[in-house]
Amino acid sequence: MKTYRIAVIPGDGIGPEVIAEGIKVLNRAAELDASFRFEFVTFPWGCEYYAKHGKMMDDDGMEKLRSFDAIYLGAVGYPGVPDHISLWGLLLRIRKEFDQYVNIRPIQLLDGAPCPLKDASKADIDMLVIRENSEGEYAGAGDWLFKGKPEEVVLQTGVFSRKGTERIIRYAYETARRLNKSLTSISKGNALNYSMVFWDQVFEEVGRDYPDVQTYSYLVDAAAMFMIKQPQRFEVVVTSNLFGDILTDLGAAIAGGLGLAAGANVNPDRTYPSMFEPIHGSAPDIAGRGIANPLAAVWSASQLLDFLGQERWGKAVLQAVEQVMVERVALTPDMGGTASTSEVGDRVVTALAASSVAAK
Ligand code: NAD
Ligand code: IPM
Ligand code: MN
């Protein structure tokens, strides 16, 4: 029997609450299949760990993670530890050091998901956002000069390397070709007269190798507007790190809410493990009450199954999520229900047996 070794970092706030449900679902998939199993190893890293040890992870933390088939993460960041310390000490560090340069975020309206847009149908909201995940505005480069003085100047440098820009854009073209979908680049060349002019140029250059892929290019401000007004314009989308961050919270909102939106941080050449996590954060406003929606974490688990080559189970888990939303027996308050986090997880587990037959 095949064993997949998964490093689990539940993290902060609602992270541990939702990850527990994802693990339930993964274990159930393995049980139903019977040809593979999971070995989960949990790492207690996060803001509480920081309070005790003065660091976000063990000194040899990256080494510890390296041998796993994948990482499953809840959320990082909690009041008490400055966000830039906690995030750069754990989440962003892993993305960067494991060269997880592709962030795949499906913005897809499932049946039963609450959509705030009037008249939008399932066919209208079905996009795959491919966010650059290793550099750009998140390069961590900058300077803070003349601190506290009247001439104080702060620089935050966006870094767009030839290698980094080409590889994400090529990945997006390949994805669009494989799915037979259009590809939209979202940038801002009118104002960002170095980085985004370069981005647009690379988008065009790489596109010459993909004459079969229909392309569009939007400025990010207009793209934000079109995501609300005409989301059907977008199929596969490629964009920079910061724009992708913002647009996928917007995307989450139109596709049912942050409690439902999933993401995969992928190192495509598989030199390092990839990491699966909901788009949302630690939600301190609802943490500890057992009411967080676990469906985003469960959808991330579905992405994890796809990544491991268990696509049938990836599909079955997503269908189970959809069924749970359609039947409306157990949903958390953000979706208008009264169920607890674990009741929703249990419901997905129940739905999975039926959906796995359908997904066969
Ligand atoms: P957030 O995503 O945690 O919460 C935003 C809002 O959405 C809150 O009202 C919250 O209750 C709600 N929400 C989020 N997830 C939900 C769920 N599963 N079910 C129901 N409601 C949900 O964003 P924030 O409040 O801006 O950030 C809180 C902390 O999380 C910060 O420290 C931030 O840096 C961090 N953060 C971490 C990640 C990550 O680890 N990937 C992502 C985003 C934010
Ligand atoms: C996300 C988060 C992170 C990001 C933060 C917590 C650093 O918002 O995964 O979307 O900006 O990438
Ligand atoms: Mn974000």
Q: How far is the CA of 311 from the centre of ligand 3 (A)?
A: 26
Q: How far is the CA of 229 from the centre of ligand 2 (A)?
A: 25
1-112+258-360 and 115-255 have identical folds: yes
Which ligand 1 atom lies nearest to the CA of residue 295? 18
User: Which tens digits make up the pLDDT trace of 10-67?
Assistant: 999 999 999 999 999 999 999 999 999 999 999 999 999 999 999 999 999 999 999 9
Ligand 1 pocket list (CB less than 6 A): 14, 18, 75-78, 83, 87, 91, 258-259, 277, 280-286, 292-293, 296, 334
- The overall pTM is greater than 0.80: yes
Question: What per-residue confidence (pLDDT) applies to 148?
Answer: 97
Residue 272, CA distances (Å) to 11, 56, 81, 222, 308 in order: 20, 20, 28, 36, 14
CATH annotation of 115-255: 3.40.718.10
Counting ligands in written order, which one lies closest to the CA of residue 281? 1
User: Which tens digits make up the pLDDT trace of 175-185?
Assistant: 999 999 999 99
Q: How far is the CA of 245 from the centre of ligand 2 (A)?
A: 6
Spatial separation of the C-alpha atoms in residues 292 and 110, rounded to whole Å:
19
245 catalytic? Reply is yes
User: Which tens digits make up the pLDDT trace of 294-349?
Assistant: 999 999 999 999 999 999 999 999 999 999 999 999 999 999 999 999 999 999 99
Question: What per-residue confidence (pLDDT) applies to 359?
Answer: 72
Handedness of CA 256, 258, 260, 262 (dihedral sign): positive
Query: Where are the domains positioned within the chain?
Result: 1-112+258-360, 115-255
Residue 356 has pLDDT above 90, yes or no: no
Tell me the pLDDT band of 355, cut-offs 50, 70 and 90: confident
Spatial separation of the C-alpha atoms in residues 201 and 191, rounded to whole Å:
15
Residue owning the nearest CA to atom 7 of ligand 2: 87
CATH annotation of 1-112+258-360: 3.40.718.10
ipTM higher than the 0.85 cut = yes
Q: Are 110 and 219 in contact (CB under 8 A)?
A: no
Spatial separation of the C-alpha atoms in residues 241 and 355, rounded to whole Å:
35
User: Which tens digits make up the pLDDT trace of 82-112?
Assistant: 999 999 999 999 999 999 999 999 999 999 9
221 catalytic? Reply is yes
